[in-house]
């Protein structure tokens, strides 16, 4: 499904457009899919929490919201 979403986004935006996507680096499947389409990593973000540390289970997470959204 994620593979089809990336394909559709590239078709809708058209060739030569700049597309930025955020996804968790721990989801190696998602990272590999976007790399197949020519995406390259240009920055990293930091995830922070308060209180008890939760286990990172990101295998089903294929995108993140913009940092400006909180």
In tens, the pLDDT along 38-68 reads: 888 888 777 767 777 766 666 666 666 665 6
Q: Is residue 58 part of a domain?
A: no
What band does 33 get if pLDDT is binned at 50, 70 and 90?
A: confident
pLDDT at 26: 79
Average pLDDT estimate for 24-33: 84
Q: Is residue 69 part of a domain?
A: no
Alpha carbons within 13 A on the beta-carbon side of 8: 5
pTM of the model: 0.61
Could you list the residue range(s) of the whole structural domain that residue 26 is in?
1-43
Q: Is residue 13 part of a domain?
A: yes
How many domains does the chain contain in total?
Answer: 1
CB 42, CB 15: distance < 8 Å: no
Q: Is residue 28 part of a domain?
A: yes
pLDDT at 13: 78
Helix residue spans in the chain (DSSP H): 2-13, 28-36
């Amino acid at each position: 499904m994620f593979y089809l979403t990336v394909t559709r986004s590239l078709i809708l935006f058209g060739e030569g457009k700049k597309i930025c996507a955020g996804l968790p680096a721990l989801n190696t499947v998602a990272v590999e899919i976007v790399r197949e389409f020519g995406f390259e990593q240009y920055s990293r973000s930091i995830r922070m929490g308060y209180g008890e540390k939760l286990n990172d289970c990101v295998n089903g997470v294929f995108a993140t919201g913009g940092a400006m959204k909180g």
